[in-house]
Amino acid sequence: MQNPKTIAVLTGGGDAPGMNAAVRAVVRSAHALGMRAVGVKRAYEGLARGLMQDIGARDVGGILQRGGTVLQTARFAEFARPEVQREALRQLNARGVEALVAIGGDGTMRGAAALEALGFPAVGIPASIDNDVYGTDMAIGVDTALNTILDAIDKLRDTAASHQRAFIIETMGRKCGHLALMSGIISGAEMTLIPEQEASAEEVAAAVRGAYERGKTHAIIVVAEGAKLHASALKQQLDRMNTGFGSRVTILGHVQRGGSPSAWDRLLAARLGIAAVERLAKGERGVMVGLRATTVTGTSLQEVGSRRRDADLEYYRMARMLAK
Ligand code: F6P
């Protein structure tokens, strides 16, 4: 591939803190390398409808610290249809765009892989609070979401301890338990339920009762939204099993997706944004840039789109050990 002179950038899937920092990094590094940058509004839906316009260096000023995405996003299942993909290509070609940087989760990577399969150069940047994107240890937004969850759990612990209650706290994450598992460890939860490692209500009750008998003033149970045993069903069962604590449920919901990105997420966004553009400039394509250990790497978009990153069960063992 010849070096692209014009690249487009979009943000897809659920918004994640740090998406704006990544857009800024893509736009500014494209300009630094002498390319023109085009912003696509509302992800693949906007691509198919031609919602694109040039973005200059000044247009991305003041967005680094903002949550959400200034390019907006959309869930757009229709992009799986070949005729919709062809229409998106027509729109890109009509504006002289020669390559795409797609920022988002696994669905966004599948969209980029589909365009690549049609011969259009695409590079992906992982951004999703779920941390379920294959090919990177961390996606942009995960660290900020974890800090938000931690802040909420610290506050819930205050009221839990005052009332001698067990709090069941549901986190996001779709089918991946990463957010729940990490928050369980860093907040000192008695028990964590994730899709990758199921636990029964009896096991949870035993852990909560044990905490009560050891003189703890409260219990924290973190439940991933994708866990088989849902937070409300767990509450009903715990209340029947008499653990010593009364119980309450808090569903953290979309608050986990908002807020100003953490230092870690801003740095990751800068590194991956620059890496994506530099790789395109060198003629590389069809990869998602990601972080493995401390190094920026590339993984084929095909592979990223067809695999899922699960929670690391070593952390499950650690969480149980620290809950004593
Ligand atoms: O993928 C991010 C995520 O927040 C998931 O954790 C959650 O299951 C889903 O998006 C919610 O999607 P929506 O905002 O479309 O309801």
Residues 154-213 have pLDDT tens digits of 999 999 999 999 999 999 999 999 999 999 999 999 999 999 998 999 999 999 999 999
For the CA of 13, the nearest atom of ligand 1: 1
If you measure from the C-alpha of residue 108 to the centroid of ligand 1, how many angstroms do you get, rounded to a whole number?
13
Is 292 inside a domain boundary? yes
**CATH number, position 278:** 3.40.50.450
Is 324 inside a domain boundary? no
If you measure from the C-alpha of residue 83 to the centroid of ligand 1, how many angstroms do you get, rounded to a whole number?
27
Same-domain pairing of 295 and 166: no
Angle between helices 82-94 and 106-117 (to 10 degrees): 70
Q: How many domains does the chain have?
A: 2
* Nearest of 315, 323, 301, 310 to residue 111 by alpha carbon: 301
Is 124 inside a domain boundary? yes
Same-domain pairing of 196 and 277: no
CA-closest residue to ligand 1 atom 2 = 14
Backbone φ and ψ for 167, nearest 5 degrees, come out as -105, 130
CA-closest residue to ligand 1 atom 13 = 14
For the CA of 132, the nearest atom of ligand 1: 1
Same-domain pairing of 126 and 223: no
Pocket test for ligand 1, best of 106, 172, 255, 257 (most atoms within 8 A of CB): 172
Same-domain pairing of 107 and 178: no
Same-domain pairing of 21 and 46: yes
Is 316 inside a domain boundary? no
Same-domain pairing of 11 and 86: yes
Cβ atoms 156, 286 nearer than 8 A:
no
Same-domain pairing of 197 and 162: yes
Is 118 inside a domain boundary? yes
Same-domain pairing of 246 and 290: no
Pocket test for ligand 1, best of 109, 130, 140, 225 (most atoms within 8 A of CB): 130
Provide the token pair at 36.
Answer: 């023109």
For the CA of 16, the nearest atom of ligand 1: 2
If you measure from the C-alpha of residue 35 to the centroid of ligand 1, how many angstroms do you get, rounded to a whole number?
33
Same-domain pairing of 137 and 20: yes
Listed as ranges, residues in the chain with pLDDT below 70 are 1-2
If you measure from the C-alpha of residue 194 to the centroid of ligand 1, how many angstroms do you get, rounded to a whole number?
16
For the CA of 130, the nearest atom of ligand 1: 6
If you measure from the C-alpha of residue 5 to the centroid of ligand 1, how many angstroms do you get, rounded to a whole number?
35
How buried is 295 (Cβ within 10 angstroms: 0-12 exposed, 13-18 middle, 19+ buried)?
Answer: exposed
pLDDT of 322 = 87
Ligand 1: residues within 6 Å at CB? 13-14, 75, 105, 128-130, 172-174, 225, 257
* Nearest of 148, 133, 129 to residue 69 by alpha carbon: 129
pLDDT of 1 = 61
Is 131 inside a domain boundary? yes
For the CA of 254, the nearest atom of ligand 1: 4
Report, as residue numbers or ranges, the catalytic residues.
130
Is 297 inside a domain boundary? yes
Cβ atoms 71, 39 nearer than 8 A:
yes
- C-alpha span between 288 and 280 (Å, rounded): 11
**Range(s) of the domain holding residue 127:** 6-141+261-306
CA-closest residue to ligand 1 atom 11 = 14
Same-domain pairing of 130 and 149: no
pTM over 0.75: yes
CA-closest residue to ligand 1 atom 10 = 14
pLDDT of 198 = 86
**CATH number, position 185:** 3.40.50.460
Same-domain pairing of 192 and 242: yes
Same-domain pairing of 150 and 161: yes
Is 171 inside a domain boundary? yes
If you measure from the C-alpha of residue 14 to the centroid of ligand 1, how many angstroms do you get, rounded to a whole number?
6
